[in-house]
Amino acid sequence: MFDIGVNLDHTSYLEDLSKFEQEYLEEGVEGIICIASNLEEAHKLTDLCSTYQSMHFTLGCHPHYASTWTDSHQAELISLFKHHKKAIAVGEMGLDFNRNYSSPSEQITAFEAQLELANIVKRPAYLHERDAFDELTLRLGNTPLDHGGVIHCFTGDTQQLKAYLDLGLMVGITGWLLDERRNQSLVEALQYLPLDRLLIETDAPYLLPRTIRPRPKRNHPKYLNYIAEAVAHHKQTDLETIKEITAANTRQLFLTNGL
C-alpha cells in the first residue's frame, strides 16, 4: 500500500523519523507522500525525506497560505523540482473558501500559478478543495493538467465525484469514510468511483478512523489498512484487490519520478 497523504511536520513524527517509518513499513505501507503547505515546509521536506527511501513529497502552497505567494515562488519551486527527484507532485494547492485564511482572490492567484507550474515541471497536481467546488472545477477546466492530478481527501457527493472524474483526476479516500456521523454522501459517491481512479490516504495526523480501538491520540500512516478495509467493504471486493489496485494507481500517477 501507499499512503498518498501525510502531514509529516508533527512533533510526534519528527522526534524519531526512523521509528515513524518502521511503524508503517511493518503494517504493509511501503511508501508515503508527505504534503507541503508552503515554501518553508517545502524546503523542510527536501531535507527530512532525503534519507528515507519510502518517503516522497509534494512542493507547493496550500490555499491557507496563498497570501504568502509571490511571483518568485514559482522560480524557486521549479529549482527545487529540478534538484529533488523525490518531489513527485505540485501542491497541496487549491481553493478553500471555508475559513478564508487567505482571501479568495489570493487563493485563485496562487492556484492558477501552481496549475501552470505543474505543467512546467511535468508533475501531477495535488489538489485541495473546501466550499469552493464550482470555482475550483472552473479553473481546472480552463487549465488542463498535462500530467494529471488527485483530488486529495475527497469528502464530497456523487455529482462532485463525477465532475472530478470528467476532469481526469484520481480521487483520494481517507478515514472520513469510517465516520458514520458524516460519511453518507461519500459512501454513496464511492459506488461510482472506478477502481482505476482510486487512491487511499490517512491525512495523518488528522482524520483518525473512528473504528480504531483502543483509540490512539492521533492518526498515523500505519493505520492505512483501516481505510483499505472500509473501501473494500463498500466496493464489495476483497482487501487484497484494493491494496494492489491503489498501489498500482499510485505508481501510475507518480511514475515519472520512480515511486
User: So what's the pLDDT on residue 255?
Assistant: 84
pLDDT for position 136: 98
Q: What is the pLDDT along the chain (259 residues), one digit of tens a residue?
A: 999 999 999 999 999 999 999 999 999 999 999 999 999 999 999 999 999 999 999 999 999 999 999 999 999 999 999 999 999 999 999 999 999 999 999 999 999 999 999 999 999 999 999 999 999 999 999 999 999 999 999 999 999 999 999 999 999 999 999 999 999 999 999 999 999 999 999 999 999 999 999 999 999 999 999 999 999 999 999 999 999 999 999 999 998 766 8
Distance separating alpha carbons of residues 201 and 18, to the nearest angstrom: 20
At residue 257, the pLDDT reads: 67
Q: Which three cell numbers stand for residue 73?
A: 515562488
- Which residues face 6 on adjacent strands? 34, 204
Q: Are 226 and 259 in contact (CB under 8 A)?
A: no
Cα dihedral value 93, 30, 55, 110, nearest 10: 0
